[in-house]
Each structure stands twice: as C-alpha cells, then as structure tokens.
Amino acid sequence: MLDIKTIFFLLACSHLIGAVVLMFLARSYTEIPGIKEWAIGRILVSAALVFYMLRIAIPIELSVLLGNGLLCLGLYSALLGVNKVVARAPQISPKQFALLLLLLMAVLMYWTIIDYSYIYRASLIAMVTTAFMLLLIDSIRPRSKQQRSLGKSLLMFSYCTLGLSELIKALALLFSTLPESQLFEAQSVTALPMFIATCTSITTTVGYFALVVETLNKRLIALSDIDSLTQTLNRRALLEKAKVLVEQQKPPYQTAILFIDIDNFKLINDTHGHASGDCVLQQVASTLAQQLGEAPLLARFGGEEFVVILPDTSEKLALAIGENIRSAIEAMTPVLTAIGRVTCSVGVTTSEQKQNPDLFFALLHEADSAMYHAKQNGKNRVSLYKPTMTRARKSQQPNLEPSLEL
C-alpha cells in the first residue's frame, strides 16, 4: 500500500523543483511570456500540499480553505502561463475565476463545518482539477500539423493522464462503499492518483522546458526572416516562401507580383542624410502593410525596393492594388517636411497562361522590368509588364537569382 503522506511530500518536492527550473527559465528568457506564471503555479500547488499535510497540526477548516484555495490558484496560474506562451486568450477571466473560487470555498466550508463530508469535498476538488486539465488541454492542443511539437505532446500527455486519474478518483469516491472520512484514511482511492500526479509533475516540467526551447527556436527563425529596419520579410525569406507559393498555384489560379521602387531615393539620402532615408523606408513599409493587410507576402528586396506577392489575384485586381499603393505613398505626410512628397514606381505582372520551370524568378524579372519602364516614363506610376519590355533593362537589370549573397 502506498503511504499517502510520503506521496504528498514527494509531490510537493517535485513541484518545488519544477518551480526552481521554471524560475531559472523565466529569468534567462524574459522575452517569452508565461514562464513566470508556470513557476508561480508550481509554488502555489506545493504550498497547497503543505497545508494538506498540516491537517493533523492545524484546524481542518484552515487546511481545507488554504489547501484547496492555493491549489485552484496554482492551476489557474498554470492556465494563464500556457495561454500566454501559445498567445491565446484565457478561457476564464480573472474576475470570473475569483467568483468561481469564492463559490467553491463556500461549498467546501459547508461540507466542512455544517454538513461534514470528506467524500463530497474530495470529489468536488477532483472534478475541479479535471476541469482545469480540460482547459489546459484546449489551450495547448495543436490546431494544425504545423503546430505539433514535442513540448505540446508531453504537456497533452500529462494533462490527459492527470485529468483522467482525477475523474476516476471523483467517481470512485462517490460510488465507493469504503468508510473513508479523512484525507489520510483514503488510501485506496487517493494514494494512486497522487502518485500519478507526482509522475506527471516531472513530465509536465520537461514539457514546459521543451516548449520554451521550441518557442525560442521559432522566434529565432522569425527574426532571421525579418528586415530589422522595415519589419517586413527580408530578401532571403521572400525567395524561400514566394518560390513555393507561386509554383504551387494551379490554373485557373494565378499569382501577381508587384515590384515597388521609391522614386529619387538616392537624392533623399544625399540631400537629407541616411537617417532620413531610413525614416522614409519605414514609413513606406508601414503604408504598404496598411494597404495590403496580413495575407500577401511583403518584403524589402533591397535598398529602396519592395516586392509584394499576391496569390489568386487577377491582372485587373493587381493593377488596382498597385494603383492604391502608389496613391497611398504619394498621399503620405513626409517624415520631414524638407523631403517633400515621396512617390514610387510600381511594376506589375501575373502568372496567367505562363509555363516556366522556374516561374517565380521569371515573374520577378518581369515585374522588375515593368517597374523600370514606369521609371523611364515619368515615375510615380504603375506599369503592367509587356513582352516588349523584356530587353528594356537587360544591361542594367540586377541579379534576382537566389545565388546572390543575401
């Protein structure tokens, strides 16, 4: 027979060790939200177990109130931490949780002071723990194959195992005929779930650690894809993402590419300084993002050039979007009044009825040629690619292939 006092002690120790590990992670990786809430949750659960164990030395009312209250606070803190890490809103707001906690404490006090029942109290807390496990499972479960990871799998396993054991415990207590009326007398239905909780505490800590590492890796990958000045995709990321996107399009779908170049940008740098030029680039990038929304691929291709990839976009719509971009940039209030009006030239092409083994780079050359045609014809305009433009920039066209050092 498992000794329940020993199991309580081991579980409290495992939660404290997990809290120390998580506090170390929280101090080392302050940019990742949620880790501190995990650590606080572990500390609160460990404190709850201490108050459970002190039931032989302190009034039972105090043990029930503080033990169960701290347990619920610890579980809610863990839930907040998980939701922060996965960037989801908590299913229960702090105000809602506070009201539910007050109601729970009132019911527990009723079964402690007025109509004593260990079975009802223990069953209720087991069901509350199961409910928290379901909320944690809902928060951490992957919504797609791309979101699956080792950390999430370990946490899902831990939450499912603990939730199932607590549910079985609640049902066993309610339907058992054994005369178990005290915590430390409940060997048959309490000891085993507590032992399972001790084991899952270890796997949960490992899952938290793995999830932190995975989150860091994703952030590093994301940072490597972003142009630090304009916060758009950089050239390398565009070449990787757009090539796949364009070449996966099948008729009758088509992809449009817009090549955007800020007019007279060298003059802005030479006259007002590179700091002013950087401000113009940031303002143009912000305007482009506002005009395009979140769906299209937007990248700073180099210098003052931006590229936009528009999947499933017709030639007519691409021209309209290009014109909207041109007019929005022209309407910008310049970051420095001395700079005056900022304009751009836009080249547009689409993949309609085109067959090419390297379609993306062919389209990119076409959009660049169309943009250069707009430059030659007065700037501040949108130009649609025509086959006659192919040689317009042959001697001056930059290398757009991925072999270029990025």
**How do residues 64-107 score in pLDDT, each as one tens digit?**
999 999 999 999 999 999 999 888 888 999 999 999 999 999 99
For the stretch 309-366, pLDDT in tens is: 988 888 899 999 999 999 999 998 876 666 788 999 999 998 865 656 577 888 889 9
For the stretch 260-273, pLDDT in tens is: 999 999 998 888 88
| Rounded CA separation 60/51 (Å) | 10
* Other C-beta atoms lying within 10 Å of the C-beta of residue 400: 19
When the pLDDT of each residue in the chain is averaged and rounded to a whole number, the result is 85
Q: How confident is the model at residue 181 (pLDDT cuts 50, 70, 90)?
A: low
Confidence check: pLDDT of 125 > 50: yes
Residues near 378 by beta carbon (within 8 Å), at least 6 away in sequence: none
* Other C-beta atoms lying within 10 Å of the C-beta of residue 285: 19
Query: Is 159:129 a contact under the CB 8 Å cutoff?
Result: no
Q: Of the candidates 40, 15, 25, 30, which has an alpha carbon nearest to the alpha carbon of residue 151?
A: 25
Confidence check: pLDDT of 146 > 60: yes
Whole-angstrom CA distances from 225 to 212, 216, 237, 258, 283 are 20, 14, 5, 20, 20
Q: Of the candidates 29, 377, 356, 334, which has an alpha carbon nearest to the alpha carbon of residue 347?
A: 377
Average pLDDT over residues 108-131: 93
Q: Counting beta carbons within 10 angstroms of the beta carbon of residue 259, is it exposed (0 to 12), middle (13 to 18) or buried (19 or more)?
A: buried
Does the pTM of the predicted model rise above 0.75?
Answer: no
Confidence check: pLDDT of 403 > 50: no
pLDDT for the residue numbered 395? 40
| Rounded CA separation 329/375 (Å) | 16
| Rounded CA separation 281/285 (Å) | 6
Q: How confident is the model at residue 394 (pLDDT cuts 50, 70, 90)?
A: very low
| Rounded CA separation 308/311 (Å) | 10
Rounded to the nearest 10 degrees, the angle between the axes of helix 187-225 and helix 235-248 is 100
pLDDT for the residue numbered 404? 37
Average pLDDT over residues 241-247: 72
For 59, phi and psi rounded to 5 degrees? -55, 140
Q: How confident is the model at residue 241 (pLDDT cuts 50, 70, 90)?
A: confident
For 233, phi and psi rounded to 5 degrees? -60, 150
